[in-house]
Amino acid sequence: LSFSSGKTGAFALPILQSLLETPQKLFALVLTPTRELAFQIAQQFEALGAGIGLMVAVIVGGVDMTTQALALAKRPHIIVATPGRLVDHLENTKGFSLRALKYLVMDEADRILNMDFEVELDKILRVIPKERRTYLFSATMTKKVAKLERASLKDPARVEVSTKYKTVDKLKQHYLFIPFKYKVSKERLRSRYVPSSIFQEAYLVYLLNELAGNTAIVFCATCNSAMQTAMLLRQLGMQAVPLHGQMGQEKRLGALNKFKSKVKDILVCTDVASRGLDIPHVDLVVNYDVPSQSKDYIHRVGRTARAGRAGLAVTFVTQYDVEVYQKIEAHIGKKLTEYPCVEKDVMLLVERTQEASEMAVKELKEMADKKKKGKKRYVMLLLVLFIFRCDSIYSVLLMKSSSVSWKILMILKKCQRNSKSH
């Protein structure tokens, strides 16, 4: 199914109708590739089931396992989860089982498989009933999805909303070519040659200044690039917020909510925000890095020009991106025009942009060093607690622990039990 096709309602409404007819706890499981999408689906279930006392639990990484275990102990009607964290609970949470499950939904199945969740999916499929109703949603029918279809579905009925990739007519699409190097005078800059990255940043600043007042999503290829770009824009006084997979869950939801509520008007993100998320009123999408896959381009630009509104998408292209970019043009069946900009105005921004970029890199390094020291202290604390058998403090740590920390604690507890038994 394509974006903006109302697929959440396509599986939520039949599940709720069936739940009304045969009420049962742990009735349905919805698997999603990302945490943000899981929370969004849960909110839609809660809104649709508000009148029937529906209980929904969200089980994703980045949230402490103990709180989630307590939520599962209440036996909610619907569980919305990412595969990795759900498997953690199936293996470690005492008393939790999906043996009576009636519905399984795999949303964005192609992305789930692209994120290497095949092992986790296999574990989940082994412990849920074979007699169930399964919905599998995918924007693309890859070999992996076809394999999953054969493994999880019996005599399936296939519904295709769209047979080819396309962009909407009200979406204006352009490219901006970024030269690899410009020669500039020593008086203007610290070095005679400035790398392409600085000019790319200057073009981004120019574009966002030209379209000030519009809400924009800037897509970057990596988490580090998204973080650094957001910091750069902040240094220049812009209301930018980052969103990427290395952020904690609370910060990710906070960033998304700030952008949705227009507290921040620029969201700098990775492809974690390219599909599934309902972000209304986005005026501009910037592909700061050209997506490696044509389908990812479609999903990125699909964040704007939604529900009949107009939108603008601009893709930054360097000399190294030309081949990939031409494949995108061939895929969408359009030759894109260059976005008009005044080059001399961009050059005026280069020096200030370079200063802001250096400050952003410095800030990013300081954050990384601080995080590294914090992790070392936490591991040392775990070891001390294990050595001195401080059982009473384990529960406090569990409330703050990530999935990795939970696994460390479980190993230590197991070692402790083994030592007591000898």
pLDDT tens per residue, range 300-359: 998 898 877 889 999 999 888 999 999 999 999 999 999 999 989 999 999 999 999 999
The burial class, CB within 10 Å (0-12 / 13-18 / 19+), for 388 is: exposed
Domain residue ranges of the chain, discontinuous segments joined by +: 7-152, 171-366, 388-421
**In CATH terms, are 7-152 and 171-366 the same topology?**
yes
Q: Token match 């700061």: residue?
A: 288
In angstroms, the CA 342 to CA 376 distance is 50
Q: How confident is the model at residue 368, as a pLDDT?
A: 80
User: Domain 7-152, what fold?
Assistant: Rossmann fold (3.40.50)
Task: Produce one character per residue of 308-335: b if its CB has 16 or more CB atoms within 10 Å, e if not.
Answer: eeebbbbbbbbeebeeebeebbebbeee
State pLDDT tens for residues 195-240. Answer: 557 889 999 999 999 999 999 999 999 999 999 999 999 999 999 9
Q: Is the pTM of this model over 0.75?
A: no
Residues 6+ apart with CB under 8 A from 21: none
H or E stretch including 154?
Answer: none
User: Which superfamily, per CATH, for 171-366?
Assistant: P-loop containing nucleotide triphosphate hydrolases (3.40.50.300)
Mean pLDDT score of the chain: 84
Tokens of 279: 């972000």
Q: For residue 94, what pLDDT is reported?
A: 92
Band of pLDDT at residue 155, cut at 50, 70 and 90: confident
Place of tokens 């599986």: 11
Secondary element (H or E) of residue 177:
strand 171-177
Residue 384 has pLDDT above 80, yes or no: no
| Stretch 149-167: mean pLDDT | 69
Is residue 226 within 8 A of residue 268, CB to CB? The reply is yes
pLDDT band for 382, please (50, 70, 90 cuts): low
More confident position, 90 or 374: 90
Closest listed residue to residue 315, CA positions, set 106, 171, 212: 171
Does the pLDDT of residue 281 top 70, yes or no? yes
pLDDT tens track for 4-54: 446 788 899 999 999 999 999 999 999 999 999 999 999 999 999 999 999
Q: Which helix (H) or strand (E) holds 284?
A: strand 284-287
Q: What pLDDT is recorded for position 182? A: 56
